[in-house]
Structure 1
Amino acid sequence: MNITSIAFGAAVAVSLATTAGAQELKYANWAPPMHTINEAQIQPLADAIQEGTDGAVTLRSFHGGELGAGPADQFVRVVQGTADMGWGVHGYTSSQFPKSLILELPGALPLDQPGYAALWRAFDEELNGEYPLTEVIALWASEPNILMMRDKEVRTPEDLKGLKMRVAGSISAEAMEALGATPVQIPMTQVYNGLQTGLIDGVISGASVMSDFKLNEVVGSVTTGPNLGRLTFYTVMNKSAYDGLSEDAKAAIDEIKGEKISQMTEEAWVATADAALNAARESDSTNVIDLNEEERKAFDDALSEVTSEYVAEVNGDAALAAMRGE
């Protein structure tokens, strides 16, 4: 759904409600309360707002989709005012974020470079228009994607042929198709059951999901090494709600938003991923396969056209160059 088509009246209603003196801001979190997002981002935002306004404005988080089920609807939920603030995965609504999604492409960014900095380098000139009717609070990326399998071992692209792989959006779907797998797009909240029942054979995502969504209980094999891209995320605030805040509340949010909270969030994501992958290495029930340079190259070569074709399709050369700092 393209957000620019949402009725202006909804934004006006939110503005009136906000200026009428609402003191509690609502943050929509579709993930469980123990997810990394809570400690990494929601709590620091809540602390900053409360301290910056001496408690006159607070931020309350609603976990597990309490403000509405469905991770794919997060951006719309904020624009329509169901939540004042919320986070989401760009890939869940791919058509809304064509250039932001460039960072998810295989090989778009070296594995050791932070995603949040790349997104903010491109934001003002290339990405800003993809976030209408909102104030962008954070943009960040996950740790690099790996392959997590139910009961198969993947060492070559051929090992994926015919397997059903859960993907987060169109980018990872095209990557899996290029490797011969069948992409299955279901929310991360349904992946545990999908792996457990055999609905899917595996998932392409960052290692943090093994602990954040307890996939360590149903993943038997992990493959690391190839540059399979990474997931990207956003946190946005309803623009009318933001504009209706007191000067103190605005200043408190302005102080932490942007690269500051984005870096904090991404670094927490990576720390969670590192811990989850280390736990997998130590586990008797999970086999971690680290591909060597030659083995990685087979994947990189198979995926190179996915990246070049997508960038050309969305006229994204300038966005990719900005993300890379070129």
Structure 2
Amino acid sequence: MKRTTYLVGLAGGIALALGAGLAQAQEHTFKLHHFLSAKAPAHTQMLEPWARAVEENSGGKVKIEIFPSMTLGGRPPELIQQARDGVVDLVWTVNGYTPGLFPRTEVFELPTVFKNDPAAANLAAYDLFESDLKEDYKGVEVMFLHVHAGNGMQMRETEVRSAADLAGKKMRIPTRTGAWVIEALGAIPVAMPVPELPTALQKGVVDGAFIPWEIIPPLRIQEQTQFQIEGANEERFGTATFQVSMNQARWDALPEDIKQAFRDASDREWLAKVGAIWRGTDDFGIKMAVDSGNTHVVLSGDETAAFRAALAPVVDRWVEDVSSKGIDGAALVDKARQLIATNAGAN
């Protein structure tokens, strides 16, 4: 009996010691807040692996707790302010949810600048960050920037093959550059966070949306649409930029080895992988839509060129707009196009 009591006590002591060691090892705990569900590919295939990589790089000193679906409160457009105010440590958010706040980075959203290669755009943004984009991110330390696979058209009832087919249609978009795309095509932009889209489609608040195929499975967009439309060679009509960022004061207080754990998890190799992740989830999404009976429309080369010509003024509008703020928009467009071309096929 005494031996049994001793063994139980010994086992308990070992467990407590191990627990104490683990608690001691995890010296830095972070809350990462975002707007999609825990089932979304962005959560399962990008944010979770990234968080685990940071933890591993830190030798167990870091723990990142991920809170999806705005479970810590607020609405998606408030995420960046939550990070800046230190309400949460880390956020993943869409830059365009706060229009005009990240003007330099918008260059990667523009049609004819972004066409169809998310990995190349991710790497181009990485290459431009320190020299050209960093000024956009006061109050936060950027872990990484990325884009999605690009805005295709997802329509309730309308098969679109030309800008004329969109005349007067109400189209959802999350970014101001996207709103300019819609206006250039003769449609009416309707801004809303993506979780609100299924209800808006179902009720006819919008006729369609410019959004990637990736979002089809988590929001069941195939049930509210009939047509998915993209250009030749998977060309899209611009994209959206995203950021994973940390509160600046929290970052500044970290020891160098912990900062390096985050940097190593957010390097060029990771950004190329993120591009491949979003391309893969996009392919999965369009397959789900087609398997559900939807029509996947791929525009011909001539139809794609006509859209490209119609959208060229969007780039000019952006250059004029940011130039009024003292930003050399024309130079940024040239740099972004050149770096996207240089990094083409990185995934």
- Do these two structures clear the TM 0.5 threshold for a shared fold by scoring above it? yes
Task: Please tell me whether the aligned partners of residues 173 and 192 of structure 2 are also in contact (alpha carbons under 8 angstroms).
Answer: yes
Task: Please tell me whether the aligned partners of residues 178 and 303 of structure 1 are also in contact (alpha carbons under 8 angstroms).
Answer: yes
Which stretch shifts more, 252-261 or 91-100?
Answer: 252-261
Name the residue aligned to 2:23. Answer: none
Name the residue aligned to 1:119. Answer: 125
Whole-Å Cα distance in 1 between the matches of residues 55 and 178 of structure 2? 39
Shift of 1:269: 1.4
One-letter amino acid of the counterpart of residue 296, structure 1: T
Shift of 1:140: 0.8
Name the residue aligned to 1:231. Answer: 240
Backbone CA RMSD of aligned residues:
1.8
Whole-Å Cα distance in 2 between the matches of residues 300 and 49 of structure 1? 40
Name the residue aligned to 1:16. Answer: none
Whole-Å Cα distance in 2 between the matches of residues 318 and 133 of structure 1? 26
One-letter amino acid of the counterpart of residue 101, structure 2: Q
Whole-Å Cα distance in 1 between the matches of residues 127 and 61 of structure 2? 34
Aligned residues: 305
Whole-Å Cα distance in 1 between the matches of residues 271 and 156 of structure 2? 32
Q: How does 1:204-283 map to 2 (within 5 A)?
A: 204-225=210-231, 227-283=236-292
Matched residues, percent identical?
29
Name the residue aligned to 1:74. Answer: 79
What does the per-residue CA deviation read over 1:290-309, in whole Å, with 9 as the maximum and x for residues that have no partner? Answer: 11011112211111111122
Residue 100 of structure 1 pairs with residue 105 of structure 2:
yes
Q: Return 5+ residue gaps in structure 2 as ranges.
A: 1-25, 324-328, 340-347
Shift of 1:58: 0.3
Which stretch shifts more, 136-145 or 208-217?
Answer: 208-217
One-letter amino acid of the counterpart of residue 129, structure 1: E
Identify if the C-alpha distance between structure 1 residues 164 and 211 changes in structure 2 by more than 3 Å, giving closer, same or farther. same
The SS at the match of 1:79 is helix
Whole-Å Cα distance in 1 between the matches of residues 51 and 217 of structure 2? 24
Which of 166, 189, 203 is 1:160 aligned to?
A: 166
What does the per-residue CA deviation read over 1:113-162, in whole Å, with 9 as the maximum and x for residues that have no partner? Answer: 62201212221111110001221111111112110001111111111111
Shift of 1:50: 2.6
Whole-Å Cα distance in 2 between the matches of residues 49 and 85 of structure 1? 13
One-letter amino acid of the counterpart of residue 32, structure 1: S
Which stretch shifts more, 273-282 or 197-206?
Answer: 273-282
Name the residue aligned to 2:41. Answer: 36
Which stretch shifts more, 91-100 or 311-320?
Answer: 311-320
Residue 195 of structure 1 pairs with residue 208 of structure 2:
no
Whole-Å Cα distance in 1 between the matches of residues 126 and 51 of structure 2? 23
4+ residue stretches of structure 1 with deviation over 3 A?
Answer: none
Whole-Å Cα distance in 2 between the matches of residues 265 and 213 of structure 1? 21
Whole-Å Cα distance in 2 between the matches of residues 243 and 45 of structure 1? 20
Shift of 1:69: 2.5
Q: Return 5+ residue gaps in structure 1 as ranges.
A: 1-20
Identify if the C-alpha distance between structure 1 residues 185 and 256 changes in structure 2 by more than 3 Å, giving closer, same or farther. same
The SS at the match of 1:95 is coil
Whole-Å Cα distance in 1 between the matches of residues 123 and 58 of structure 2? 29
What does the per-residue CA deviation read over 1:36-63, in whole Å, with 9 as the maximum and x for residues that have no partner? Answer: 2222332223222332344332000011
Task: Please tell me whether the aligned partners of residues 114 and 239 of structure 2 are also in contact (alpha carbons under 8 angstroms).
Answer: no
Residue 139 of structure 1 pairs with residue 145 of structure 2:
yes
Task: Please tell me whether the aligned partners of residues 36 and 43 of structure 2 are also in contact (alpha carbons under 8 angstroms).
Answer: no
What does the per-residue CA deviation read over 1:167-218, in whole Å, with 9 as the maximum and x for residues that have no partner? Answer: 1111111111111111100110000000011111000011111123221221
Residue 313 of structure 1 pairs with residue 328 of structure 2:
no
One-letter amino acid of the counterpart of residue 325, structure 1: Q
One-letter amino acid of the counterpart of residue 311, structure 2: L
Q: How does 1:174-193 map to 2 (within 5 A)?
A: 174-193=180-199
The SS at the match of 2:168 is coil
Shift of 1:22: 6.5
Which stretch shifts more, 246-255 or 196-205?
Answer: 246-255
Task: Please tell me whether the aligned partners of residues 154 and 223 of structure 1 are also in contact (alpha carbons under 8 angstroms).
Answer: yes
Query: Which one has a bigger Cα radius of gyration?
Result: 2
Name the residue aligned to 1:10. Answer: none
Which of 93, 116, 122 is 1:88 aligned to?
A: 93
Identify if the C-alpha distance between structure 1 residues 56 and 67 changes in structure 2 by more than 3 Å, giving closer, same or farther. same
